Amino acid sequence: MKVLVIGSGGREHALVWKLRQSEGVEQVYCVPGNGGIAREVTCLSADLKNIKALAELAESLRADLTVVGPEAPLVAGIADEFERRKLPIFGPNRAAAQLEGSKIFSKQFMRRHGIPTADFTVCDNEQTGLADLGRWGGPLVIKADGLAAGKGVVVCANRNEAEKTLHSILSGELVGEAGRKVLLEEKLSGEEVSFLVLTDGKTAVPLAPTQDHKQVWDDDRGPNTGGMGAYSDDGILSPSLTQRVIDEVVSRTIEGLRAEGITYKGLLYCGLMITADGPKVLEYNVRFGDPETQPLMLRLQGDLAQTLLAIANGELRSSMVSWKTGSSVCVVACSAGYPGEYASGKTIGGLSEAEADGAKVFHAGTAAKNGEIVTAGGRVLGISAAGSDLAAATAAAYEATAKIHFDGMHYRRDIARKGLQRVRPL
């Protein structure tokens, strides 16, 4: 079996790593990959915006399965093109990918199908937006409608911040065309949880719960990022809360899509806030999360390639997925200045030492240069480890992180702290 993975981040490295362990997989390719992925599989260059060229590449490689990592190709319709050519692909079609491609579509969809979420309004001009800023009498969230590479969601503590944000998005200054329309949303309070589900449109198989850490600094301070770390632990959600999420969010989403003539095949990511009133959806993603995938792949049991192929063929079975006991943690090491401006080309040391005791370093923003691995992005590495419990996994991840060094490297020191406090208050 030959598998093609599309993408270049830590998520894709984790998927490549796990797919290589699948029985029957003889070759894994990655487009375009990164410095770390290229040490494990063949990486090929291609324009991820050219959907037809990617399909032609899959045909030329005789790929038995293509796995799409990032959201942009899915929103652009890569699954539709592959299915038209009868090429097996893991990822939802263009219609289903609107759940992530348009914040407004997803919120209106939730409203239509009774899926719990924050109250919201929509605007496409500043005058309308300014009139709605005081709707909830406190902090609010402003979201650009389209894909904005993690920059399109801003939490505003007061009206002054909200007015500035509204102007910067609608004017195109912050996220360009993605901000032609804007979502104004009530700010929810509670604890965030990432709830990921594999589905072929009929069967839905939840993955182990994870928790992401979005803010750049410890104690959830500073601007939002693509994710500074994540952990997977069964204690994140109680069995009763898990069932509520399945009943009130997952089932209603899949059934709602089907009622609108859309079959969802792929990974459905439900970003949740666990409020005093129960789980509410903050956002949908239509692909594996990054960095949630890294700790998930450390715990996942079963044949990933066969599972994803079964989803592409509409043959998913819940027995295909099981989980190792214990916990796993991923700490993201970033370039100085991230999520703002940052420099690249910094030599990375300590990679072999970090993996000496069983940790796995997943590469995100790296490249190979003169026989060395150098930085080539804001989020550079996802240093990941598993353990018998969350404390052991956290300690192992940070011990490995301490062995890595590059100029300007920074990372959060409190990944999984909320989970540890849940087990034993600090």
CA angle, residues 373, 330, 425, in degrees to nearest 5: 145
Contacts of 257 (CB under 8 A, 6+ apart): 96, 109, 201, 263, 264
Distance from C-alpha of 251 to C-alpha of 246, rounded to nearest angstrom: 6
* Average of per-residue pLDDT across 372-381: 98
Whether the predicted pLDDT of 425 surpasses 70: no
Token code pair at residue 282: 């903050």
* Average of per-residue pLDDT across 389-411: 98
* Average of per-residue pLDDT across 325-333: 98
CATH fold, domain 2-94, is: Rossmann fold (3.40.50)
pTM of the model: 0.96
Whether the predicted pLDDT of 226 surpasses 80: yes
Four-way CATH pick for 125-180: 3.30.420, 3.30.1490, 3.40.50, 3.90.550: 3.30.1490
Distance from C-alpha of 309 to C-alpha of 306, rounded to nearest angstrom: 5
Mean of pLDDT over the chain:
96
**Which residues are 65's β-sheet partners?**
3
For the chain, the domains span: 2-94, 125-180
Q: Confidence band (pLDDT; 50, 70, 90) for 424?
A: low
Q: In Å, what is the CA distance from 195 to each residue of 38, 50, 236, 420?
A: 30, 31, 10, 19
Distance from C-alpha of 291 to C-alpha of 378, rounded to nearest angstrom: 13
Instruction: For 28-67, write each residue's pLDDT tens digit.
Output: 999 999 999 999 999 999 999 999 999 999 999 999 999 9
Whether the predicted pLDDT of 245 surpasses 60: yes
The answer to whether residues 313 and 208 touch, using CB atoms and an 8 Å cutoff, is no
Whether the predicted pLDDT of 223 surpasses 90: no
DSSP string, 129-146: HHHHTTTTSS-EEEEESS
The answer to whether residues 191 and 258 touch, using CB atoms and an 8 Å cutoff, is no
Of all helices (H) and strands (E), which one includes residue 28? Answer: strand 27-32
DSSP string, 83-124: HHTT--EES--HHHHHHHH-HHHHHHHHHHTT--B--EEEES
Instruction: For 170-217, write each residue's pLDDT tens digit.
Output: 999 999 999 999 999 999 999 999 999 999 999 999 999 999 999 999
In percent, how much of the chain has pLDDT > 70? 99
